[in-house]
Structure 1
């Protein structure tokens, strides 16, 4: 069984990666699919002054779930099983650690995420991840 890890952020690029993954996984049954959304930790005292730790954690979980809605809908429509993870930390290292912890065989992701217009060739998370993992990464435009 091949294990796929798919970082998603709610962007069009992430949806394209999920659509590509569906085609790949249908050809390589059985497949184990893991979606992941990584939220940056909130260390700003301005936020922590007004919100309790559990309120911040709940908001991050909710935002992560929201960013995965489109990817989940695509996988549900394709009748594919998957596990969804919302994690907090530095994005690329957190994805790399999850891939290692789960024993993933490959990562499928969009070339860019939301708000990465400055990186016209390849997004910063994808570029960092290439250097952090030893498994193949498929980048989808």
Structure 2
């Protein structure tokens, strides 16, 4: 494995996925990570009335960069090359597209625990990524 896409949303499961990449560095010392935060597109009339599209996107990108900060530091401390990416759009589709465009070998992403709500969460993004991507997808609980 040369390069892994790691979607990060600030959740504990996403942080565990980053820690998994650090563990993989023992097996694949030259592993690289593409840290991706996907921000939802804000298209409500109340926001668009006050802010221009470019201003909303700048705020979303700034927020996404803040979410990536802690995980970037973890990877840097482990000596793992990291490319931070913030995108705006539908999460699963964006994850699959960025993995493909970035030349990643795999996607490593967190999930929620397997409780009553998890099937909804797992079904919404993780499962969709499994269906959309031809790459191996590792789900970290």
The two structures share one fold, judged by TM-score above 0.5: yes
1:77 counterpart residue number: 77
2:7 counterpart residue number: 7
Q: 1:29 aligns to what SS in structure 2?
A: coil
Q: Is the CA contact (8 Å cut-off) linking 2:32 and 2:80 kept in structure 1? A: no
Q: Is the CA contact (8 Å cut-off) linking 1:34 and 1:83 kept in structure 2? A: yes
Q: 2:70 aligns to what SS in structure 1?
A: helix
TM-score by length of 1: 0.90
Cα separation, partners in 2 of 1:46 and 1:105, compared to 1, 3 Å? same
Q: Where in structure 1 are there 5+ consecutive unaligned residues?
A: none
The Cα shift of 1:71 comes to 1.1
**1:140 and 2:140 equivalent?**
yes
**1:57 and 2:79 equivalent?**
no
Question: Aligned-pair RMSD on alpha carbons?
Answer: 1.8
Q: Is the CA contact (8 Å cut-off) linking 1:10 and 1:69 kept in structure 2? A: no
The Cα shift of 1:78 comes to 1.2
Aligned ranges 1:1-141 → 2 under 5 Å: 2-112=2-112, 118-120=117-119, 123=122, 124-141=124-141
Q: Where in structure 2 are there 5+ consecutive unaligned residues?
A: none
Q: Deviations over 1:20-41 (max 9, x none)?
A: 1111123112122100000111
**Counterpart Cα distance in 2 of 1:42 and 1:140:** 29
Q: Deviations over 1:78-105 (max 9, x none)?
A: 1221100000111100110111111211
**Counterpart Cα distance in 1 of 2:120 and 2:136:** 19
